Structure 1
Protein backbone atom coordinates (compact mmCIF):
# COMPACT_ATOMS: atom_id res chain seq x y z
CA UNK A 1 0.00 0.00 0.00
CA UNK A 2 1.48 3.33 -1.11
CA UNK A 3 1.62 6.12 1.48
CA UNK A 4 0.67 9.36 -0.27
CA UNK A 5 0.80 11.63 2.75
CA UNK A 6 2.74 11.39 6.01
CA UNK A 7 2.43 14.06 8.69
CA UNK A 8 4.84 13.54 11.58
CA UNK A 9 4.83 15.49 14.87
CA UNK A 10 3.35 18.62 13.30
CA UNK A 11 2.91 21.60 15.63
CA UNK A 12 1.57 25.00 14.59
CA UNK A 13 1.55 28.17 16.66
CA UNK A 14 0.88 31.83 15.90
CA UNK A 15 2.79 34.85 17.10
CA UNK A 16 0.64 37.72 18.30
CA UNK A 17 1.43 40.97 20.05
CA UNK A 18 -0.97 41.95 22.81
CA UNK A 19 -1.15 45.00 25.04
CA UNK A 20 1.46 46.86 23.06
CA UNK A 21 4.66 44.92 22.39
CA UNK A 22 4.05 41.86 24.57
CA UNK A 23 4.63 38.83 22.39
CA UNK A 24 2.30 35.85 22.82
CA UNK A 25 2.76 32.53 21.00
CA UNK A 26 -0.52 30.64 20.77
CA UNK A 27 -0.16 26.93 19.93
CA UNK A 28 -3.11 25.60 17.91
CA UNK A 29 -1.88 22.17 16.77
CA UNK A 30 0.42 20.01 18.88
CA UNK A 31 2.41 16.94 17.85
CA UNK A 32 -0.02 15.89 15.12
CA UNK A 33 0.77 12.63 13.34
CA UNK A 34 -1.40 11.16 10.58
CA UNK A 35 -1.03 9.44 7.19
CA UNK A 36 -3.14 8.80 4.09
CA UNK A 37 -2.63 5.88 1.73
CA UNK A 38 -3.44 5.64 -1.94
CA UNK A 39 -7.02 4.41 -2.43
CA UNK A 40 -8.00 5.47 1.11
CA UNK A 41 -10.16 8.10 2.79
CA UNK A 42 -9.00 9.32 6.20
CA UNK A 43 -11.29 11.65 8.13
CA UNK A 44 -10.00 14.19 10.66
CA UNK A 45 -12.93 14.58 13.04
CA UNK A 46 -13.12 17.44 15.53
CA UNK A 47 -15.25 20.30 16.73
CA UNK A 48 -15.55 23.55 14.78
CA UNK A 49 -12.71 25.96 15.48
CA UNK A 50 -10.36 23.28 16.81
CA UNK A 51 -7.70 23.92 14.15
CA UNK A 52 -8.45 21.13 11.70
CA UNK A 53 -8.33 23.40 8.65
CA UNK A 54 -4.82 24.52 9.63
CA UNK A 55 -3.65 20.98 8.87
CA UNK A 56 -4.89 21.42 5.28
CA UNK A 57 -3.33 24.86 4.99
CA UNK A 58 -0.01 23.54 6.30
CA UNK A 59 0.07 20.72 3.74
CA UNK A 60 -0.66 23.20 0.95
CA UNK A 61 1.76 25.84 2.23
CA UNK A 62 -0.83 28.58 2.66
CA UNK A 63 -0.52 29.36 6.38
CA UNK A 64 -0.40 33.06 7.34
CA UNK A 65 2.95 34.83 7.77
CA UNK A 66 2.85 34.84 11.59
CA UNK A 67 2.67 31.04 11.87
CA UNK A 68 5.44 28.93 13.39
CA UNK A 69 5.61 25.33 12.17
CA UNK A 70 7.63 22.35 13.38
CA UNK A 71 7.48 18.71 12.35
CA UNK A 72 7.61 17.03 8.97
CA UNK A 73 5.19 16.51 6.08
CA UNK A 74 5.98 14.04 3.30
CA UNK A 75 4.25 13.39 -0.02
CA UNK A 76 5.12 10.14 -1.79
CA UNK A 77 8.08 9.76 0.57
CA UNK A 78 9.53 13.20 -0.21
CA UNK A 79 9.65 15.98 2.37
CA UNK A 80 7.32 18.82 1.39
CA UNK A 81 9.32 22.03 1.39
CA UNK A 82 7.52 25.32 0.74
CA UNK A 83 8.90 25.30 -2.81
CA UNK A 84 7.60 21.78 -3.44
CA UNK A 85 4.20 22.62 -1.93
CA UNK A 86 3.83 25.51 -4.35
CA UNK A 87 4.85 23.27 -7.24
CA UNK A 88 2.40 20.46 -6.38
CA UNK A 89 -0.68 22.31 -5.15
CA UNK A 90 -3.41 22.57 -7.72
CA UNK A 91 -1.78 19.69 -9.60
CA UNK A 92 -0.91 16.56 -7.60
CA UNK A 93 -2.35 17.89 -4.34
CA UNK A 94 -5.66 19.76 -4.49
CA UNK A 95 -7.99 21.38 -1.99
CA UNK A 96 -11.76 21.13 -2.03
CA UNK A 97 -12.41 24.24 0.09
CA UNK A 98 -15.08 24.42 2.77
CA UNK A 99 -16.76 27.56 1.48
CA UNK A 100 -18.36 28.37 -1.86
CA UNK A 101 -16.96 31.85 -1.25
CA UNK A 102 -13.76 30.48 -2.79
CA UNK A 103 -15.55 30.87 -6.13
CA UNK A 104 -15.08 34.28 -7.78
CA UNK A 105 -18.55 35.91 -7.76
CA UNK A 106 -17.71 38.00 -10.84
CA UNK A 107 -16.55 35.15 -13.07
CA UNK A 108 -18.55 32.47 -14.83
CA UNK A 109 -18.04 28.94 -13.55
CA UNK A 110 -16.27 27.52 -16.62
CA UNK A 111 -13.89 30.48 -16.84
CA UNK A 112 -12.60 30.11 -13.30
CA UNK A 113 -12.43 26.31 -13.57
CA UNK A 114 -10.23 26.53 -16.66
CA UNK A 115 -8.06 29.35 -15.37
CA UNK A 116 -5.38 31.18 -17.31
CA UNK A 117 -4.18 29.75 -20.63
CA UNK A 118 -1.16 30.59 -22.77
CA UNK A 119 -2.96 30.19 -26.09
CA UNK A 120 -6.18 29.08 -27.78
CA UNK A 121 -4.97 25.49 -28.11
CA UNK A 122 -4.41 25.15 -24.35
CA UNK A 123 -7.75 26.81 -23.68
CA UNK A 124 -9.54 24.33 -25.96
CA UNK A 125 -7.82 21.35 -24.31
CA UNK A 126 -8.74 22.60 -20.84
CA UNK A 127 -12.31 23.27 -21.95
CA UNK A 128 -12.68 19.68 -23.14
CA UNK A 129 -11.27 18.38 -19.85
CA UNK A 130 -13.48 20.74 -17.82
CA UNK A 131 -16.63 19.58 -19.61
CA UNK A 132 -15.62 15.93 -19.20
CA UNK A 133 -15.16 16.27 -15.43
CA UNK A 134 -18.24 18.45 -14.94
CA UNK A 135 -20.38 15.94 -16.81
CA UNK A 136 -19.12 13.11 -14.61
CA UNK A 137 -20.57 14.95 -11.61
CA UNK A 138 -23.89 15.80 -13.18
CA UNK A 139 -23.12 19.37 -14.22
CA UNK A 140 -24.48 19.93 -17.74
CA UNK A 141 -23.34 22.59 -20.20
CA UNK A 142 -25.82 25.15 -18.91
CA UNK A 143 -23.79 25.35 -15.68
CA UNK A 144 -20.71 26.62 -17.54
CA UNK A 145 -22.23 30.04 -18.18
CA UNK A 146 -23.61 30.55 -14.68
CA UNK A 147 -22.18 32.82 -12.00
CA UNK A 148 -21.66 31.31 -8.52
CA UNK A 149 -24.70 33.10 -7.05
CA UNK A 150 -26.88 31.28 -9.60
CA UNK A 151 -25.83 27.83 -8.28
CA UNK A 152 -27.64 25.84 -5.62
CA UNK A 153 -25.59 24.75 -2.60
CA UNK A 154 -25.22 21.23 -3.96
CA UNK A 155 -24.23 22.45 -7.43
CA UNK A 156 -21.65 24.83 -5.97
CA UNK A 157 -20.06 21.95 -4.00
CA UNK A 158 -19.90 19.88 -7.17
CA UNK A 159 -18.25 22.77 -9.01
CA UNK A 160 -15.60 23.02 -6.27
CA UNK A 161 -15.01 19.27 -6.40
CA UNK A 162 -14.87 19.19 -10.20
CA UNK A 163 -12.51 22.16 -10.36
CA UNK A 164 -10.16 20.44 -7.92
CA UNK A 165 -10.14 17.33 -10.12
CA UNK A 166 -9.28 19.09 -13.39
CA UNK A 167 -5.56 18.56 -12.81
CA UNK A 168 -6.12 14.86 -12.00
CA UNK A 169 -4.49 15.07 -8.53
CA UNK A 170 -3.38 12.06 -6.50
CA UNK A 171 -4.25 13.57 -3.11
CA UNK A 172 -7.36 15.59 -2.34
CA UNK A 173 -8.03 17.51 0.84
CA UNK A 174 -11.76 18.01 1.40
CA UNK A 175 -12.18 20.74 4.03
CA UNK A 176 -15.66 20.65 5.60
CA UNK A 177 -17.45 19.78 2.33
CA UNK A 178 -20.99 19.32 3.71
CA UNK A 179 -22.07 22.12 6.14
CA UNK A 180 -25.19 23.98 5.02
CA UNK A 181 -26.26 21.32 2.52
CA UNK A 182 -29.64 19.59 2.49
CA UNK A 183 -29.78 15.84 3.15
CA UNK A 184 -29.76 14.87 -0.54
CA UNK A 185 -26.78 17.12 -1.30
CA UNK A 186 -24.88 15.68 1.67
CA UNK A 187 -25.48 12.15 0.40
CA UNK A 188 -24.35 13.18 -3.09
CA UNK A 189 -21.19 14.78 -1.68
CA UNK A 190 -20.39 11.63 0.31
CA UNK A 191 -20.90 9.54 -2.83
CA UNK A 192 -18.66 11.87 -4.85
CA UNK A 193 -15.84 11.66 -2.29
CA UNK A 194 -16.11 7.87 -2.07
CA UNK A 195 -15.92 7.76 -5.85
CA UNK A 196 -12.50 9.44 -5.66
CA UNK A 197 -11.20 6.45 -3.70
CA UNK A 198 -12.35 4.17 -6.50
CA UNK A 199 -10.13 6.23 -8.80
CA UNK A 200 -7.11 5.23 -6.64
CA UNK A 201 -6.85 8.67 -5.09
CA UNK A 202 -6.13 9.44 -1.45
CA UNK A 203 -8.53 11.74 0.39
CA UNK A 204 -8.04 13.65 3.64
CA UNK A 205 -11.55 14.55 4.78
CA UNK A 206 -11.74 17.31 7.40
CA UNK A 207 -15.10 17.46 9.14
CA UNK A 208 -16.92 18.08 12.42
CA UNK A 209 -19.85 15.88 11.37
CA UNK A 210 -19.36 12.37 12.76
CA UNK A 211 -22.04 10.81 10.54
CA UNK A 212 -20.29 12.12 7.43
CA UNK A 213 -17.00 10.63 8.67
CA UNK A 214 -18.66 7.29 9.45
CA UNK A 215 -20.32 7.05 6.03
CA UNK A 216 -17.28 8.18 4.05
CA UNK A 217 -13.96 7.25 5.65
CA UNK A 218 -11.90 4.10 6.00
CA UNK A 219 -10.13 5.45 9.08
CA UNK A 220 -11.02 8.28 11.43
CA UNK A 221 -8.59 10.47 13.37
CA UNK A 222 -10.17 12.21 16.36
CA UNK A 223 -8.92 15.76 16.89
CA UNK A 224 -9.18 17.24 20.39
CA UNK A 225 -7.75 20.57 21.52
CA UNK A 226 -5.11 20.56 18.77
CA UNK A 227 -4.08 16.92 19.30
CA UNK A 228 -4.89 13.71 17.46
CA UNK A 229 -5.97 11.45 20.33
CA UNK A 230 -7.07 8.33 18.43
CA UNK A 231 -6.91 6.90 14.92
CA UNK A 232 -9.17 3.92 14.42
CA UNK A 233 -11.16 2.24 11.65
CA UNK A 234 -14.53 3.70 10.76
CA UNK A 235 -16.04 0.29 11.44
CA UNK A 236 -14.92 0.43 15.08
CA UNK A 237 -16.52 3.85 15.49
CA UNK A 238 -19.95 2.28 15.17
CA UNK A 239 -19.74 1.02 18.78
CA UNK A 240 -18.25 2.88 21.75
CA UNK A 241 -16.93 -0.44 23.11
CA UNK A 242 -14.68 -0.80 20.05
CA UNK A 243 -12.82 2.50 20.43
CA UNK A 244 -10.19 3.24 23.07
CA UNK A 245 -9.94 6.87 24.17
CA UNK A 246 -12.44 8.08 26.81
CA UNK A 247 -13.24 11.14 24.69
CA UNK A 248 -13.91 8.99 21.61
CA UNK A 249 -16.25 6.81 23.66
CA UNK A 250 -18.05 9.92 24.95
CA UNK A 251 -18.32 11.27 21.40
CA UNK A 252 -20.03 8.11 20.16
CA UNK A 253 -22.31 7.89 23.19
CA UNK A 254 -23.45 11.48 22.57
CA UNK A 255 -24.99 10.59 19.20
CA UNK A 256 -28.82 10.67 18.92
CA UNK A 257 -28.97 6.93 18.24
CA UNK A 258 -27.18 6.36 21.56
CA UNK A 259 -29.49 8.59 23.58
CA UNK A 260 -27.59 11.93 23.64
CA UNK A 261 -25.44 10.88 26.61
CA UNK A 262 -23.57 14.15 27.03
CA UNK A 263 -20.56 14.72 29.27
CA UNK A 264 -19.67 17.94 31.05
CA UNK A 265 -16.68 20.12 30.27
CA UNK A 266 -15.17 21.98 27.33
CA UNK A 267 -12.01 21.62 25.28
CA UNK A 268 -9.14 23.78 26.58
CA UNK A 269 -8.46 26.67 24.22
CA UNK A 270 -4.75 26.95 25.09
CA UNK A 271 -2.08 24.27 25.07
CA UNK A 272 -1.88 22.52 28.45
CA UNK A 273 1.03 20.91 30.28
CA UNK A 274 -0.56 17.48 30.68
CA UNK A 275 -3.17 15.44 28.86
CA UNK A 276 -5.60 17.79 27.07
CA UNK A 277 -8.55 15.66 28.22
CA UNK A 278 -7.45 15.54 31.87
CA UNK A 279 -10.16 17.81 33.32
CA UNK A 280 -13.01 15.81 31.75
CA UNK A 281 -11.60 12.28 31.79
CA UNK A 282 -13.26 9.57 33.93
CA UNK A 283 -10.14 7.37 33.70
CA UNK A 284 -7.49 9.97 34.55
CA UNK A 285 -4.45 9.18 36.67
CA UNK A 286 -2.22 11.47 38.72
CA UNK A 287 0.49 11.47 36.04
CA UNK A 288 -1.98 12.78 33.44
CA UNK A 289 -2.18 16.24 35.03
CA UNK A 290 1.40 17.34 34.36
CA UNK A 291 2.56 14.88 31.67
CA UNK A 292 1.43 14.72 28.06
CA UNK A 293 0.92 11.21 26.62
CA UNK A 294 2.43 10.35 23.26
CA UNK A 295 0.53 8.95 20.30
CA UNK A 296 1.37 5.23 20.33
CA UNK A 297 0.37 2.12 18.40
CA UNK A 298 -1.77 -0.22 20.49
CA UNK A 299 -2.81 -3.34 18.59
CA UNK A 300 -3.07 -1.42 15.32
CA UNK A 301 -4.89 1.58 16.83
CA UNK A 302 -3.09 4.89 17.33
CA UNK A 303 -3.96 6.16 20.81
CA UNK A 304 -2.80 9.06 23.01
CA UNK A 305 -3.55 7.86 26.55
CA UNK A 306 -1.39 6.81 29.51
CA UNK A 307 -3.77 3.96 30.30
CA UNK A 308 -2.68 2.20 27.12
CA UNK A 309 0.98 3.08 27.59
CA UNK A 310 0.74 1.24 30.92
CA UNK A 311 -0.75 -1.80 29.17
CA UNK A 312 2.04 -1.76 26.55
CA UNK A 313 4.71 -1.52 29.29
CA UNK A 314 3.30 -4.61 30.99
CA UNK A 315 3.08 -6.68 27.83
Structure 2
Protein backbone atom coordinates (compact mmCIF):
# COMPACT_ATOMS: atom_id res chain seq x y z
CA UNK A 1 0.00 0.00 0.00
CA UNK A 2 1.29 3.49 -0.85
CA UNK A 3 -0.37 6.79 0.06
CA UNK A 4 -3.50 4.96 1.25
CA UNK A 5 -3.95 3.03 -2.01
CA UNK A 6 -3.03 -0.50 -3.00
CA UNK A 7 -0.19 -1.05 -5.45
CA UNK A 8 -0.42 -4.27 -7.47
CA UNK A 9 3.08 -5.78 -7.48
CA UNK A 10 2.00 -8.96 -9.32
CA UNK A 11 -1.10 -8.95 -11.48
CA UNK A 12 -0.63 -11.78 -13.99
CA UNK A 13 1.58 -14.77 -13.20
CA UNK A 14 0.12 -17.95 -14.66
CA UNK A 15 2.41 -20.99 -14.79
CA UNK A 16 2.78 -24.58 -13.62
CA UNK A 17 5.81 -26.47 -12.38
CA UNK A 18 6.32 -30.22 -12.29
CA UNK A 19 8.70 -32.46 -10.37
CA UNK A 20 12.00 -32.87 -12.16
CA UNK A 21 11.66 -29.43 -13.77
CA UNK A 22 13.29 -26.03 -13.26
CA UNK A 23 11.48 -22.83 -14.18
CA UNK A 24 13.72 -19.74 -14.23
CA UNK A 25 11.87 -16.50 -13.43
CA UNK A 26 13.81 -13.55 -14.85
CA UNK A 27 13.32 -9.81 -15.19
CA UNK A 28 14.63 -6.47 -13.98
CA UNK A 29 14.67 -5.55 -10.29
CA UNK A 30 11.29 -4.41 -8.99
CA UNK A 31 9.18 -6.36 -11.48
CA UNK A 32 7.58 -8.55 -8.78
CA UNK A 33 9.65 -11.76 -8.80
CA UNK A 34 10.47 -11.85 -5.08
CA UNK A 35 6.97 -10.72 -4.14
CA UNK A 36 5.66 -13.74 -6.02
CA UNK A 37 7.96 -16.06 -4.05
CA UNK A 38 6.88 -14.45 -0.76
CA UNK A 39 3.22 -14.95 -1.68
CA UNK A 40 3.79 -18.67 -2.33
CA UNK A 41 5.23 -19.06 1.17
CA UNK A 42 2.54 -16.98 2.86
CA UNK A 43 5.05 -14.33 3.93
CA UNK A 44 2.98 -11.33 2.82
CA UNK A 45 0.46 -9.47 5.01
CA UNK A 46 -3.01 -10.95 5.03
CA UNK A 47 -4.50 -8.12 2.96
CA UNK A 48 -1.77 -8.29 0.29
CA UNK A 49 -3.38 -11.04 -1.80
CA UNK A 50 -6.70 -10.17 -3.33
CA UNK A 51 -7.20 -12.77 -6.08
CA UNK A 52 -5.83 -15.91 -7.65
CA UNK A 53 -4.68 -19.28 -6.38
CA UNK A 54 -1.41 -21.21 -6.04
CA UNK A 55 -1.95 -24.95 -5.73
CA UNK A 56 0.65 -27.24 -4.19
CA UNK A 57 -1.07 -30.59 -4.40
CA UNK A 58 -4.33 -30.09 -2.52
CA UNK A 59 -3.19 -26.95 -0.65
CA UNK A 60 -3.93 -23.46 -1.93
CA UNK A 61 -0.89 -21.56 -0.69
CA UNK A 62 -2.64 -18.19 -1.01
CA UNK A 63 -5.50 -19.08 1.32
CA UNK A 64 -3.89 -21.62 3.68
CA UNK A 65 -3.78 -20.62 7.34
CA UNK A 66 -0.50 -19.89 9.12
CA UNK A 67 -0.60 -23.15 11.08
CA UNK A 68 -0.76 -25.20 7.87
CA UNK A 69 2.01 -23.20 6.22
CA UNK A 70 4.30 -23.35 9.24
CA UNK A 71 3.79 -27.01 10.10
CA UNK A 72 3.33 -28.75 6.78
CA UNK A 73 4.58 -26.48 3.97
CA UNK A 74 7.61 -24.34 4.83
CA UNK A 75 10.75 -26.45 4.87
CA UNK A 76 8.87 -29.71 4.41
CA UNK A 77 7.13 -29.20 1.07
CA UNK A 78 8.81 -25.94 0.00
CA UNK A 79 12.43 -25.09 0.69
CA UNK A 80 13.60 -21.47 0.38
CA UNK A 81 16.94 -19.96 -0.57
CA UNK A 82 16.17 -16.33 0.37
CA UNK A 83 17.38 -13.27 -1.51
CA UNK A 84 18.94 -11.78 1.66
CA UNK A 85 20.34 -14.88 3.39
CA UNK A 86 22.05 -13.09 6.29
CA UNK A 87 18.69 -11.66 7.38
CA UNK A 88 17.16 -15.16 7.46
CA UNK A 89 19.88 -16.83 9.54
CA UNK A 90 19.41 -16.89 13.32
CA UNK A 91 22.04 -14.46 14.68
CA UNK A 92 22.55 -16.24 18.04
CA UNK A 93 23.14 -19.75 16.61
CA UNK A 94 26.19 -21.01 14.76
CA UNK A 95 25.67 -22.29 11.24
CA UNK A 96 26.36 -25.85 12.40
CA UNK A 97 23.80 -25.59 15.19
CA UNK A 98 21.18 -24.23 12.79
CA UNK A 99 21.81 -27.08 10.38
CA UNK A 100 21.47 -29.66 13.14
CA UNK A 101 18.31 -28.07 14.53
CA UNK A 102 16.75 -27.94 11.06
CA UNK A 103 17.68 -31.56 10.36
CA UNK A 104 16.17 -32.73 13.64
CA UNK A 105 12.95 -30.76 13.06
CA UNK A 106 12.41 -31.62 9.39
CA UNK A 107 13.87 -35.11 9.04
CA UNK A 108 13.90 -36.59 12.54
CA UNK A 109 17.63 -37.35 12.30
CA UNK A 110 18.87 -39.07 15.46
CA UNK A 111 20.99 -37.01 17.84
CA UNK A 112 24.09 -39.14 17.29
CA UNK A 113 23.79 -38.67 13.52
CA UNK A 114 23.19 -34.92 13.45
CA UNK A 115 26.81 -33.83 13.21
CA UNK A 116 27.54 -36.07 10.24
CA UNK A 117 24.31 -35.08 8.50
CA UNK A 118 25.10 -31.39 9.03
CA UNK A 119 28.55 -31.89 7.51
CA UNK A 120 27.02 -33.62 4.49
CA UNK A 121 24.52 -30.78 4.03
CA UNK A 122 27.29 -28.18 4.26
CA UNK A 123 29.45 -29.98 1.72
CA UNK A 124 26.52 -30.27 -0.68
CA UNK A 125 26.19 -26.45 -0.65
CA UNK A 126 29.99 -25.91 -0.80
CA UNK A 127 30.00 -24.44 2.72
CA UNK A 128 33.42 -24.97 4.39
CA UNK A 129 33.27 -27.35 7.34
CA UNK A 130 35.73 -25.26 9.36
CA UNK A 131 33.18 -22.41 9.34
CA UNK A 132 30.30 -24.39 10.85
CA UNK A 133 31.10 -23.03 14.31
CA UNK A 134 30.78 -19.44 13.12
CA UNK A 135 27.85 -17.10 13.69
CA UNK A 136 26.05 -15.39 10.76
CA UNK A 137 27.68 -12.00 11.45
CA UNK A 138 31.07 -13.64 10.96
CA UNK A 139 30.24 -14.76 7.43
CA UNK A 140 30.82 -12.98 4.13
CA UNK A 141 27.88 -12.52 1.79
CA UNK A 142 28.93 -15.52 -0.25
CA UNK A 143 29.27 -17.75 2.82
CA UNK A 144 25.86 -16.63 4.09
CA UNK A 145 24.42 -17.53 0.70
CA UNK A 146 25.92 -21.03 0.88
CA UNK A 147 24.69 -21.50 4.46
CA UNK A 148 21.16 -20.56 3.38
CA UNK A 149 21.36 -22.98 0.47
CA UNK A 150 22.43 -25.80 2.79
CA UNK A 151 19.51 -25.07 5.13
CA UNK A 152 17.06 -25.00 2.20
CA UNK A 153 18.15 -28.42 0.96
CA UNK A 154 18.19 -30.40 4.23
CA UNK A 155 14.42 -30.95 4.33
CA UNK A 156 14.45 -32.58 0.89
CA UNK A 157 11.28 -30.61 0.04
CA UNK A 158 9.72 -31.49 -3.32
CA UNK A 159 9.73 -27.79 -4.32
CA UNK A 160 12.66 -25.41 -3.90
CA UNK A 161 12.30 -21.63 -4.29
CA UNK A 162 15.73 -20.16 -4.94
CA UNK A 163 15.72 -16.35 -4.95
CA UNK A 164 19.00 -15.15 -6.50
CA UNK A 165 20.92 -18.26 -5.31
CA UNK A 166 24.20 -17.20 -6.99
CA UNK A 167 24.38 -13.67 -5.56
CA UNK A 168 27.72 -12.87 -3.92
CA UNK A 169 29.45 -15.99 -5.24
CA UNK A 170 32.60 -16.04 -7.36
CA UNK A 171 32.46 -17.84 -10.69
CA UNK A 172 33.76 -21.17 -9.39
CA UNK A 173 31.13 -21.24 -6.64
CA UNK A 174 28.44 -20.13 -9.05
CA UNK A 175 29.30 -23.15 -11.17
CA UNK A 176 29.17 -25.47 -8.15
CA UNK A 177 25.86 -24.02 -6.98
CA UNK A 178 24.34 -24.27 -10.45
CA UNK A 179 25.49 -27.88 -10.77
CA UNK A 180 24.01 -28.73 -7.35
CA UNK A 181 20.68 -27.11 -8.21
CA UNK A 182 20.53 -29.02 -11.49
CA UNK A 183 21.34 -32.26 -9.65
CA UNK A 184 18.53 -31.45 -7.21
CA UNK A 185 16.13 -31.14 -10.15
CA UNK A 186 17.41 -34.30 -11.81
CA UNK A 187 16.71 -36.18 -8.57
CA UNK A 188 13.02 -35.40 -9.09
CA UNK A 189 12.53 -32.09 -7.28
CA UNK A 190 10.89 -28.97 -8.71
CA UNK A 191 12.86 -25.71 -8.73
CA UNK A 192 11.61 -22.15 -9.16
CA UNK A 193 14.79 -20.15 -9.67
CA UNK A 194 14.49 -16.37 -9.48
CA UNK A 195 17.59 -14.83 -10.98
CA UNK A 196 19.27 -11.97 -12.83
CA UNK A 197 22.02 -14.39 -13.89
CA UNK A 198 20.85 -15.49 -17.32
CA UNK A 199 23.98 -17.61 -17.81
CA UNK A 200 23.07 -19.61 -14.70
CA UNK A 201 19.45 -19.84 -15.85
CA UNK A 202 20.56 -21.20 -19.21
CA UNK A 203 22.48 -24.02 -17.47
CA UNK A 204 19.75 -25.00 -15.02
CA UNK A 205 16.34 -24.17 -16.49
CA UNK A 206 13.98 -26.31 -18.51
CA UNK A 207 11.66 -23.35 -19.08
CA UNK A 208 11.97 -19.59 -18.70
CA UNK A 209 9.31 -17.14 -17.49
CA UNK A 210 10.01 -13.45 -18.15
CA UNK A 211 8.34 -10.96 -15.81
CA UNK A 212 7.84 -7.27 -16.51
CA UNK A 213 5.89 -4.79 -14.38
CA UNK A 214 4.16 -7.53 -12.41
CA UNK A 215 3.20 -9.69 -15.40
CA UNK A 216 4.72 -12.74 -17.02
CA UNK A 217 5.14 -11.57 -20.60
CA UNK A 218 6.76 -14.72 -22.00
CA UNK A 219 6.87 -18.38 -21.03
CA UNK A 220 9.17 -20.47 -23.18
CA UNK A 221 11.20 -23.64 -23.44
CA UNK A 222 14.75 -22.80 -22.31
CA UNK A 223 16.43 -24.34 -25.35
CA UNK A 224 14.29 -22.21 -27.65
CA UNK A 225 14.64 -19.10 -25.48
CA UNK A 226 18.45 -19.15 -25.29
CA UNK A 227 18.98 -20.70 -28.70
CA UNK A 228 16.95 -20.58 -31.90
CA UNK A 229 14.58 -19.01 -32.69
CA UNK A 230 14.97 -17.06 -29.42
CA UNK A 231 12.46 -15.05 -27.35
CA UNK A 232 9.27 -13.71 -28.93
CA UNK A 233 8.62 -10.75 -26.65
CA UNK A 234 10.67 -7.58 -27.35
CA UNK A 235 11.49 -7.18 -23.66
CA UNK A 236 12.79 -10.75 -23.41
CA UNK A 237 14.92 -10.19 -26.50
CA UNK A 238 16.23 -7.02 -24.91
CA UNK A 239 17.31 -8.88 -21.78
CA UNK A 240 19.41 -11.28 -23.82
CA UNK A 241 20.81 -8.54 -26.04
CA UNK A 242 21.98 -6.62 -22.97
CA UNK A 243 24.39 -9.43 -22.05
CA UNK A 244 28.11 -8.71 -22.71
CA UNK A 245 28.54 -11.99 -24.57
CA UNK A 246 25.69 -11.05 -26.90
CA UNK A 247 24.92 -7.63 -28.40
CA UNK A 248 25.65 -5.74 -25.13
CA UNK A 249 22.88 -3.29 -25.96
CA UNK A 250 21.01 -1.94 -22.92
CA UNK A 251 17.23 -1.62 -23.03
CA UNK A 252 16.41 2.10 -23.32
CA UNK A 253 14.38 3.85 -20.66
CA UNK A 254 13.23 2.69 -17.25
CA UNK A 255 10.44 0.34 -16.09
CA UNK A 256 7.17 2.09 -15.20
CA UNK A 257 6.07 2.67 -11.63
CA UNK A 258 3.80 -0.18 -10.52
CA UNK A 259 1.36 2.38 -9.17
CA UNK A 260 1.12 4.18 -12.51
CA UNK A 261 0.98 1.49 -15.18
CA UNK A 262 -0.35 2.32 -18.65
CA UNK A 263 -3.63 0.78 -19.75
CA UNK A 264 -1.98 -1.22 -22.52
CA UNK A 265 1.38 -2.97 -22.72
CA UNK A 266 3.62 -1.76 -19.90
CA UNK A 267 6.69 -2.13 -22.11
CA UNK A 268 5.33 -0.04 -25.00
CA UNK A 269 7.15 3.17 -24.01
CA UNK A 270 10.51 1.37 -24.27
CA UNK A 271 9.68 -0.78 -27.30
CA UNK A 272 10.80 0.06 -30.85
CA UNK A 273 7.98 -2.10 -32.26
CA UNK A 274 5.11 -0.42 -30.37
CA UNK A 275 2.03 0.60 -32.37
CA UNK A 276 -1.47 1.80 -31.55
CA UNK A 277 -2.47 -1.83 -30.98
CA UNK A 278 -0.23 -1.86 -27.90
CA UNK A 279 -2.61 0.51 -26.14
CA UNK A 280 -4.83 -2.57 -25.67
CA UNK A 281 -3.54 -5.07 -23.12
CA UNK A 282 -1.89 -7.84 -25.17
CA UNK A 283 -2.79 -11.45 -24.62
CA UNK A 284 -0.62 -14.54 -24.91
CA UNK A 285 -0.08 -15.77 -28.46
CA UNK A 286 2.53 -18.44 -28.94
CA UNK A 287 3.82 -18.01 -25.40
CA UNK A 288 4.35 -14.24 -25.45
CA UNK A 289 2.14 -11.30 -24.48
CA UNK A 290 2.86 -9.24 -27.57
CA UNK A 291 1.00 -8.17 -30.71
CA UNK A 292 4.10 -8.27 -32.87
CA UNK A 293 5.86 -11.39 -34.13
CA UNK A 294 9.64 -11.67 -34.22
CA UNK A 295 11.58 -10.81 -37.36
CA UNK A 296 11.99 -14.52 -38.11
CA UNK A 297 8.23 -15.07 -37.87
CA UNK A 298 7.53 -12.06 -40.09
CA UNK A 299 9.95 -13.46 -42.67
CA UNK A 300 8.14 -16.80 -42.68
CA UNK A 301 4.71 -15.19 -42.99
TM-score in same-fold range (> 0.5): yes
Residues 141-200 of structure 1: CA deviation (Å, up to 9, x unaligned): 533322224445444333211211222100000011122221112112111211211221
Contact 1:268 1:276 in 2 (8 A): yes
Q: How does 1:1-315 map to 2 (within 5 A)?
A: 15-16=1-2, 18=3, 23-76=4-57, 78-80=59-61, 81-83=63-65, 84-86=68-70, 87-101=72-86, 102-115=88-101, 123-124=111-112, 126-139=114-127, 141-239=129-227, 241-270=229-258, 271-289=261-279, 291-296=280-285, 298=286, 302-307=287-292
Q: Which secondary structure state, in structure 2, belongs to the residue aligned with residue 69 of structure 1? A: coil
How far apart are the structure 2 equivalents of 1:58 and 1:90?
15
1:95: Cα distance to partner? 0.5
Structure 1's consecutive aligned runs of 4 or more residues displaced over 6 angstroms after TM superposition are: none
Residues 271-306 of structure 1: CA deviation (Å, up to 9, x unaligned): 3311111112222232321x212335x2xxx21123
Distance 1:262 1:141, change over 3 A: closer
Q: CA RMSD of the aligned region, Å? A: 2.6
Contact 2:211 2:217 in 1 (8 A): yes
Q: Which has the higher contact order (CA 8 A, sep 6+)?
A: 2
Q: TM-score normalized by structure 2?
A: 0.84
**Runs (5+) with no aligned partner, structure 1:** 1-14
Q: Which secondary structure state, in structure 2, belongs to the residue aligned with residue 185 of structure 1? A: helix
Q: TM-score normalized by structure 1?
A: 0.81
Distance 1:144 1:32, change over 3 A: same
Q: Which secondary structure state, in structure 2, belongs to the residue aligned with residue 94 of structure 1? A: strand
Residues 84-138 of structure 1: CA deviation (Å, up to 9, x unaligned): 43331111111011223122232111212233769x9854455453333234444
Give the paired residue count.
285
How far apart are the structure 2 equivalents of 1:138 and 1:177?
13
Q: Which secondary structure state, in structure 1, belongs to the residue aligned with residue 249 of structure 2? A: coil
Q: Which secondary structure state, in structure 2, belongs to the residue aligned with residue 205 of structure 1? A: strand
Contact 2:145 2:168 in 1 (8 A): no
Determine the structure 2 residue equivalent to 1:4: none
Residues 226-276 of structure 1: CA deviation (Å, up to 9, x unaligned): 111001122223347422111112222222122312342221112331111
How far apart are the structure 1 equivalents of 2:189 and 2:75?
15
